[in-house]
Every structure is written in C-alpha cells, then in structure tokens.
Structure 1
Amino acid sequence: MEDHVLKNVRSFCDKLTRKDTFGIKGVMPSEEKNSLTGWGPAKNMSRWTNYLTFDIMANARYEAFSKEQADHRIAKGDEVKTKDVFYFLQKGRDPETGEGFTLHELVAEASLLILGGTDTTSTAITATIFYILLNPSCLTKVNSEVRTAFTNTEEIRGSSKLNNCRYLRACIDEALRMTPGVGGILPREVLPGGITIDGTFFPPGVDIGVPIYALQHSSEYHPQPFEYIPERWLVDDDIQPGEIGSADSVARTKSAFCPFSLGPRGCVGKGMAYKELMVVIARLVFMFDMRISEGTTAGQGDPSLDEESLRHRVGEFQGLDKFVLQADGPMVEFRLREGVEGYEKEG
C-alpha cells in the first residue's frame, strides 16, 4: 500500500502553502514556489487530513475494485498473480470445513475495506499536529529528530530509519491516547451463562464495554492524564521507578492503551495506519515550519467554560463522539523550509 500512500501524501504536501489550492495537480510550478517567501494561508487540518486519508483509501480501493484492474488481470490470463487482499479473500478456506467465504461474508469484508481507514487516521494526524504545535518543547524535539534522521523528503517512507524515530512515534501514541479516533465503547454482548466483572454480574444478552477515552485518561495508568507528555512512552533508565518515563510507568501506560481495540476484533488496518501516520507527520515536520494561525482557537477548549462541562481545557483537542470523532480545526499555517530536498526532484 505504500505507493498509494506516498502518491497522495506528495500531493497533500504540495498544496499546503498554495493559495489557489483546489483543482491543481502535480508539482508546484517554480515561479509560484519562488513567490512563497512567507507563510501560506491557514488550513483547517480536520478537513485537509480528511481529504488526504479519503484520497489514499479511494486510490487503493480503485486499484482493487476497478474494471480496468480486473481487465488487466484477465488479459494476462492468470489467476490474479498480484496477491492483494482480494486474492486471499477469494482463495481463503475454513481449515475445518474447506469452505470458502460466502457471498454475504465477501460483501461484509468489502464493506470494511471501503469504509475503514479514513476518519480515524485523519483524526490521529490532526490530533498529533494539534498537540505538537501547542507544546513547543515537543515540536522542537520532533523537529530535531526527524530533520537529523533524513537528508531529503523521499527518504521518508517505511524503513528502519523511520521506525527508529522513537520520539515521533511517542508523539503519535500520546495523541492517540488523548484523542482516540473512537472514544466511546466498542460493545460486546454477554454470552449465555452471563459474566461477573469486578464483582458485578451481567446477564446474557447485555451489551457491555469500557469507553476508550475513559480508560486512556485514567490516572491509575496515566499520570497527569490530561497533559500531553510523549515522554511517558519512552523508557529513561535515569528516571526513578513510578515516575513518568520509568520502565514500570511506561509498561503501565501501554497496558491501558487501546485506540485500535484489542484481541481478535482489533483494527485490521493498524499496521497500515501507523505507517501512514509516521510517513505523513515526518514529511510535514521535515518539509515545513508549522504554526497555529494567529487569532484562531479552532479545536481548543474554552477556558471560560465551567470545569464540569469538560470542555474547558485549552490544550485538549475537542471533538464530538459520533462513534468516530467529529472535529474542527486547528487552523495551521505552513512555510516550506529553505533548502529542503523535496520530491519534485525525484519525479
């Protein structure tokens, strides 16, 4: 999937400093690029990252579902030598019965692939940008790590070099902890016989669940739960046990972290989502200086509100729980870094 991701990320980055954003394709013309001596116009990142993630998944789905792709395979006279996910869906067999997927099951799998991987990934990208821009020390650290690790934009792709950007990954995980794409419960039905949880009996047929947002803001597992602290994910041997950054504290934090859910019902696209997040955030950090547009507060809490409203925290990215998060903002300005070796030279 990396080619589909990179193709759309290049287009996304190419447009961030443009004024005439829509309807433009390809590389920024040199005459326009030379005129960009300052900051570009503010972009609503909730919308822009949504455009990006929908384009990535739409591109991938077109390749899988399109008639042109099917015709190409038929013309080659093979049985789909390109072993994508649809190849395995068609060839998959139950190990006990030897039966393949039913039409109903194939439709369900196709629906998952059509709908998944957009809103939640968009929220994660937006939330990470929001938090690093509102926490200057975090921005400085991630800038230093990424800009030191790579020499040009096209190096930033799935690789051990990208995986070694541990602070970048910590920034993403902390954003996922504070603002999970699905913050409510993922309900599970109690099976026949019922179940007792923490001393309370739940009869069969009842739907139960733990809100992901609540779990990931429990001070029992996450000290200072409403503070954005990427260091809580990184073990520092010099930190005393029990303190943020100690081995036991990091382990405890990880034990109550489930933005992709857990177990056999966990998100099937978790691996791709993390690759997308790492590539997108790293490229933005490498290519651009970024800042919250002056005078805008979109996405931030309102300190004038009563604390009981839970919307008073300026530093917490705000959204509405509609199974997936619905958010607005932040408004971010981008400035292309001088001397950046970009993908325009790579074709």
Structure 2
Amino acid sequence: MAVIWQTNTVSVFALAKAYFVPILLTLYVLSIFYNRFRPGVSKIPGPRLAKWTKLWRLHDVYKGQAHQTAIKLHKKYGPLVRIAPNVVSVGDPKAVKIIYGLTGGFTKSAFYPLQSISWQKKPQMNLFSTRDPMYHREQKKKVAGAFSMTSLLECEAAVDSCTKLFLSRLDQLASSAPRKSIDLGAWLQYYAFDVVGEVTFAQKLGFLETGGDVDDMMKTIEGILAYASLCGQVPEMHPLLLGNPLFPILYPAMESWNAVLTFTLKAINARTSIKRDGELELNDGATTKDMLSRWAAVKSKDPEKLTTRDIIVHTSTNVFAGSDTTAIALRACIYFLIKHPEKMQKVMNEIDTADKEGKLSNPISFKESTTHLPYMGAVLKEAMRLHPSVGLLMERHVPAGGAEICGQLIPEGTIVGINPWVLQHDPCVYPDPESFIPERWLEASPDKLAEMEASFISFGAGSRTCVGKNISLMEMHKMVPQLLREYTIELAEPKKEWTTKNHWFVQQNGLDCILTKRTKA
C-alpha cells in the first residue's frame, strides 16, 4: 500500500508540475470571465474594457484627467457607470444620503489606507484613511472641537499675520519688477501651508518667508498623492510595494522619507513640555490656541484620552491635507474671476463699497467677509463647485444585504461612490454647469438652493465630511477679498488656459499673473 501511495503522490505532483502553467492560465481566464459577468453589476453600462479588468481604470487615472472622463461617461451612460469589474460610479444626487449617510453602513474602500503615515514601523490610520467607523468616531470626538469655527477664530490673529506676510512678499515681487509675471498659484499654496502651521503649531512653516518648498514637503505630498491615486486602483498591490510590512524592518530610515512626518515631529518636539500640574507649558512661554497646544494640554491631563500617537497623526494630517485642498480652491476663485472680468468687477465693487462704508478691517475678518460680502461668498462657492479639489471617486463598500441605488439592487461588497466633478456638473441641478455663474447661489429659490446644496460635496458628505472644512472656509473668506482689495490681477498670457492634473486632488498649473497695486480713491 505504501508503494502505491507513493507512486500516486509522485504522479499527482508530476501532473501538477507538467500542467502548472495551463492550470494557472485557465484560472486567470475564469477570473476574467467572472469579472465581466459578475452577478448584480454585469448589466450596468460602461466602457467595454472596464467590465473585464481594472487596467482600464488604472490607465484612465494615470492620464491625469479622470474627472473629465467621469463627466463624459455619465453623460453617455446615465447615473450608473461601471468603471471596473467591481466598481460602480454613481451620478445621482439622491444617492448621496444612501452612500454617505450616517446610518447607511457603507464603509471606505482599500483606496484610503494608502494615505496614512508610517510611524514606529507600522501604518498609523488617521481620520481620513481609516476604514473603521468606530475608530473614526472615537478619534473625531477627541479632536473635533479644535476644528470648530469658534475655536479656529480664536487663531484669527495668527492667520492675519500670514496674510500680512503674504501681501508684503507680493509687494516686494510686484515693486521690484513691475509687469513681471508672478506664479500666484504657488504663492497661494505657500500661504495655505503657513496658515496650517499657525493653526496647528502656532508657527509658520516657512513657505512665505523662503518663497519656496520647505524641506521638500510639497514634493513629498505630490509623490504620496500620485502613488495613492494609482495604487489605489489596484490596492492589492500595496502590500507588495510601499505597504510591504518588511520595509520598515529592513529600512528603518524609511519613515524619514516622509518630509511631512519629519517636520511634524520637529515642530512638536520644539514647542511642547508638560508641567507637573498637568498644564501645557510652551517653550516660548506664550499662551496660544493652536491645535498642538490644545491637544498637548488634554494629553497631560488624561494620557489615555489623547496619546502621543494621536497628536502626531492628527497634526501631520493637517500639514498633509490642509494646504493642497485650500490652495486649489483659492486658485480656482482667482482664475475664474480673471477669466470673467464682469464678475471680477462686481466683486471689487462690493469690496470697495463695504470698505468706504467702514465695514471692513485691515486685514478683513471672517465675520466681516461673510456678513458684508455676500457676492464674494457666492464666488467662492461657485469656484469650488466648478473646480472641486477631489477628482476621483469617493469610494465606499456596499454593506451586507446590498443596497438599492438609482432603482437597481447593487450587491454587497461592490465598490460604489460619487465623483464630486460629476455631481457638481449635473445640468439638471446646475443649469449651464460649465459656466461660472456665482449669481446662481444668490438668486435661486429656497427649493432650488436646497437642491444645489445637496449636490455640493466639495468637502465630502455625511460623517466623513472633511474635518478641516472650516480652516479652508476661513482662509478663503479672508484671503480672496483682501487680495482683491490690494491688487488688480491679470493673467500674464490672457489667452492661455491653465492646465490641470488629477492625482486624487485636481491640481492646477499656469496661474502666472501680473499684479498691480491698487490706489484708494
């Protein structure tokens, strides 16, 4: 019997070895066919190749214009578009509450954890990257208060110091070489970075002072976003690439590759010490309302409530996510105003009138802007509608039991999501959606306004709405009117259009401007 068993075993292994490649190819072909005819989504329309393989979507994202592709696909196919074997893009405003609602049970996909930092040789999830609703809820409770508008306005003087430095640097550039173009897009990002530094650490990050990329942070963020946007389409490859658990062990110094984390650790170490009575003592002796001070004080009183890890994760997330999104919105606002002179004039007239009536401080406060400059507010809203920062699908997994979306039952486990560009360019909600029309936000009926607000998801939706939303709103409402109060802005090449590149965030290039100092009448 033993001889027979050994003979049979040898025969099996010999057969397996002989037919290994054919068996592998057969399994691969079967998986491809399963992808194409996956139950529950096989009849959803979309690009032919996308139904068979993820490679169609990967290539689309690689080209950097996936937001425009998404708009075209929904125009062609309707509210549901299959963009990968198990991924459905949704273009119906009614689906926002279903997918992103507080009780819907839709959880984030594997796309998001790719955008977390590595510290102490393991990934550290943040509010954005975590897929665990319980973890998100617990972490948000710890820090949400610091992101409230009330708390942020306690730092308004610090933001004003950034505004003054920003304008002084523009004054130097504009006066040293009149009529010479300035890369205003880059300077707006420098401003956004330094504001994040003041709000988070009570210190500027040095971008405005140097007029350049400090410690390669901008370059680092650009690289992380490019990696996440591409690998996020095939997240199963991440454990073989930068997510390989052996990397931190084999290359302990890899954590220093992340300039954002390195800077964050440096800022924390430089500014904090804890007194015996549990109160935070800043090294410079100042009393500030920045987030680091708030959170370090909480930690000193209750180390279990807010740990060192929590502080590092949340402050580094501020630096990572707080500059790009705001800079994109600021650029969009300035660019669209320049391209529409009649709108620019209307804004400047509103600012000048409020200024002459003594309603504006110098710099303009957030309250003054939101109270006395309603058209300015509509301009900001319309710029963010027309050019939202996020340009890919905000992915979620359909929960157990499936879900009905756009009248069709989508099976559990399917990845669904909405691209802000699709919803915010919907002609049924926003007539003439490709046009810059700030008036739509002021002249719409209450019902229409509510409909537009429901489709406006530039900051996300539901429980995962961007926690830093108020930082962006405060910066935009203060900076844009102040800039237009001080300068006349025109494009260096008026007929030239800017260019955009979508690597999760839709970055713009080409906001080269000529600034002329305005003189008060």
TM over 0.5: yes
- Is the CA contact (8 Å cut-off) linking 2:193 and 2:319 kept in structure 1? no
Shift in Å, 1:298:
4.2
Specify which structure has the higher proportion of helix. 2
Look up the match of 2:328.
123
CA-CA distance at 1:275 after TM superposition: 1.1
Letter in 2 for 1:7: S
What is the DSSP-based 3-state SS (H/G/I as helix, E as strand, rest coil) of the residue aligned with 1:16? Answer: helix
Contact 2:181 2:514 in 1 (8 A): yes
Check if 1:264 corresponds to 2:264.
Answer: no
Distance verdict in 2 for CA 1:293–1:265, change over 3 Å: same
Tell me the secondary structure at the aligned position of residue 261 of structure 1.
coil
Deviation at 1:155, TM superposition (A): 4.6
Contact 2:295 2:306 in 1 (8 A): no
The aligned counterpart of 2:502 is: 321
Displacement of 1:253 = 1.7
| 1:289/1:336 contact within 8 Å kept | yes
* 1:135 to 2:340 alignment: yes
1:146-178 Cα distance to aligned partner (Å, 9 max, x none):
111125761512224543311001000000000
CA–CA distance in structure 2, aligned partners of residues 191 and 63 of structure 1? 42
Conservation of the 8 A alpha-carbon contact between 1:190 and 1:207: yes
CA distance in 2, matches of 1:205, 1:111: 31
Corresponding residue of 1:156: 364
Assess if the C-alpha contact under 8 Å between 2:369 and 2:478 holds in 1: no
Per the normalisation by structure 1, the TM-score is 0.75
User: Which residue of 476, 479, 488 corresponds with 1:280?
Assistant: 479
Matched residue SS, 2:362:
helix
Deviation at 1:198, TM superposition (A): 1.6
Say whether the 8 Å CA contact 2:188–2:331 is kept in structure 1: yes
| Residues 252 and 275 (structure 1), Cα distance of their counterparts in 2 relative to 1, 3 Å cut | same
State the alpha-carbon separation in 1 of the partners of residues 172 and 289 from structure 2: 39
- CA distance 1:76–1:57, shift in 2 (3 Å): farther
Listed one character per residue, the Cα deviations across residues 67-113 of structure 1 (whole Å, up to 9, x for unaligned) are: 44314x64997346856534358748xxxxx9635665554333322
- What code does the residue aligned with 2:354 have? A
Correspondence 1:57 to 2:263 = no
Deviations 1:258-310 (A, max 9, x none): 100112110111112111001110111111111122456141xxxxxxxxxxx
Q: Is the 8 A contact 1:153 1:283 kept in 2?
A: no
1:208 equivalent to 2:362? Answer no
Distance 1:193 1:156 in 2: 52
Distance change in 2, residues 1:17/1:163 (3 Å): same
Say if 2:202 and 2:290, in contact at 8 Å, map to a contact too.
no
Moved more, 262-271 or 57-66: 57-66
Could you tell me how far apart the structure 1 residues matched to 2:410 and 2:313 are? 30
In 1: Cα distance, 2:405 partner to 2:304 partner: 37
Could you tell me which runs of 5 or more consecutive residues in structure 2 were left unpaired when the two chains were aligned: 1-154, 204-266, 282-286
Q: Give a deviation string over 1:285-338, Cα, whole Å, max 9, x none.
A: 111111122456141xxxxxxxxxxxxxxxxxx422111112102221111112
Distance across 2 between alignment mates of 1:48 and 1:83 = 26
Q: 1:205 to 1:100 in 2, by over 3 A?
A: farther
Amino acid across the alignment from 1:55: D
Question: 1:330 corresponds to which residue?
Answer: 511
CA distance in structure 2 between the aligned counterparts of 1:88 and 1:51, rounded to whole angstroms? 25
Instruction: Encode CA deviations 1:101-154: one digit per residue, 9 max, x unaligned.
Output: 566555433332231210010010010000111111101110011111125761
Distance across 2 between alignment mates of 1:214 and 1:259: 11
SS at match of 2:477: helix
State the number of aligned residues.
292
**Amino acid of the residue matched to residue 70 of structure 1?**
T
How far residue 208 of structure 1 moved from its aligned partner, in angstroms, is 1.4
Asked if 2 retains the 8 angstrom alpha-carbon contact of 1:17 and 1:335, the reply is no
Q: Which moved more, 1:183-192 or 1:163-172?
A: 183-192
Residues 75 and 105 (structure 1), Cα distance of their counterparts in 2 relative to 1, 3 Å cut:
closer
Deviations 1:244-269 (A, max 9, x none): x3443333222211100112110111
2:266 pairs with 1:69? no
2:279 aligned to 61, 72, 78, which one? 78
- Whether the 8 Å contact between 2:490 and 2:514 is mirrored in structure 1 is yes
Q: Distance in 2 between matches of 1:278 and 1:206?
A: 39
Match of 1:223 among 431, 446, 450: 431
What amino acid maps onto 1:142 in structure 2? V
Shift of 1:9: 1.7
Identity of aligned residues (%): 26
Aligned counterparts, 1:33-44, within 5 A: 39-44=178-183
Amino acid of the structure 1 residue aligned with 2:513: V
* Stretch of structure 1 that moved more, 147-156 or 80-89: 80-89
Determine whether 1:254 maps to 2:456: no
- Within-5 A mapping of 1:287-302: 287-294=486-493, 297-299=496-498
Where structure 1 has 5 or more consecutive residues not aligned to the other structure, the ranges are 22-32, 93-97, 236-244, 300-317, 341-347
Report the Cα distance in structure 1 between the residues aligned to 2:478 and 2:423, rounded to whole angstroms: 28
- CA deviation string 1:174-206 (max 9, x = no partner): 000000011222111222222221232333333
Aligned with residue 7 of structure 1, among 151, 156, 161: 161
Judged with a 3 Å threshold, the aligned counterparts in structure 2 of structure 1 residues 264 and 117 are, in CA distance, closer, same or farther, namely same
